[in-house]
């Protein structure tokens, strides 16, 4: 009975999310899933599985442990902006190498505030777990969304895709914002999509629905 309730709730969440996507949106028609995160609530404690964007999961962690931010402080690497082109980094420093990856700026994706994307990237580097998407192509998951700035990752493979960490998606988003930047009225805006050679991609965009 409990399993049935969980499955029904998941289906309803997906239907509700899909209904938020406008008809003219490039993501319309794709299956957009809600990500799951396996995280520690207290240092050394058991891991729990939470669902939602990284910002929503962060809020849930603070509800369970108001000291979570101090218990799990971000590292200097989490907060830094890196080129991620594959040049100038040792194997230890590199996470995912996007050197030579195909990418485009803006295009069908509306621009959003670059500073908000930087915040989303920092969150993605802090929270644990391994992102997983069922077989694609064209299956996506919105992992970060705040102040109309959204980060997605999509599976282009015909089999389930599992990444080593959500930091891998952050690397893709960082690659985009390092190369796609428009300055308007003293503020930087960004949008784009990068395609990793192992058949997955990352999208950075503005989003007005539920974000």
Question: What are the residue boundaries of the structural domains of the chain, listed by start?
Answer: 2-34+81-206
pLDDT above 90 coverage of the chain, percent: 46
Give the per-residue pLDDT at 95: 65
Phi, psi angle pair for 54, to nearest 5°: -65, -35
Weakest mean pLDDT among 12-16, 103-107, 171-175, 182-186? 12-16
Q: Which residue has the higher pLDDT, 31 or 167?
A: 167
Round to whole Å and give the CA distance between 115 and 167.
18
Does residue 94 surpass a pLDDT of 80? no
| Max intra-chain CA distance, the chain | 56
Q: What is the predicted pLDDT for the residue at 65?
A: 95
- Residue 78 above 80 pLDDT? no
Q: What is the mean pLDDT of residues 120-143?
A: 88
Alpha carbon distances (Å) from 40 to 35, 44, 53, 129, 145: 16, 7, 16, 10, 22
| Inter-CA distances, 27 with 109, 154, 194, 205, Å | 10, 11, 16, 11
Residue 113 and residue 149 in contact, taking contact as beta carbons nearer than 8 Å: yes
Report which of residues 5 and 187 the model is more confident about.
Answer: 187
pLDDT of residue 23: 52
Strand, coil or helix: 113 = strand
Average pLDDT over residues 162-188: 93
């Amino acid at each position: 009975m409990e399993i049935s309730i969980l499955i029904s709730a998941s289906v309803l969440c997906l239907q509700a999310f899909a209904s938020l996507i406008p008809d003219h949106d490039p993501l319309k028609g794709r299956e957009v899933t809600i990500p799951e995160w396996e995280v520690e609530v207290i240092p050394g404690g058991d891991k729990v599985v939470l669902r939602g964007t990284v910002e929503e999961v962060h809020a849930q962690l603070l509800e369970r442990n108001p000291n979570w931010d101090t218990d799990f402080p971000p590292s200097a690497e989490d907060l830094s902006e890196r080129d991620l082109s594959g040049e100038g980094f040792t194997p230890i420093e590199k996470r995912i190498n996007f050197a030579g990856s195909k990418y485009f700026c803006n295009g069908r994706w509306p621009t959003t505030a670059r500073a908000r994307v930087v915040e989303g990237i920092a969150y993605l580097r802090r929270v644990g777990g391994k992102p997983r998407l069922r077989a694609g192509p064209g299956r996506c998951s919105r992992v970060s969304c705040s102040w109309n700035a959204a980060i997605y990752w999509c599976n282009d493979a015909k089999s389930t895709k599992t990444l080593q960490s959500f930091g891998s998606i952050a690397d893709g988003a960082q690659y985009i914002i390092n190369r796609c930047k428009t300055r308007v009225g003293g503020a930087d805006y960004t949008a784009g999509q990068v395609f990793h050679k192992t058949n997955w991609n990352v999208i950075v965009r503005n989003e007005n629905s539920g974000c």
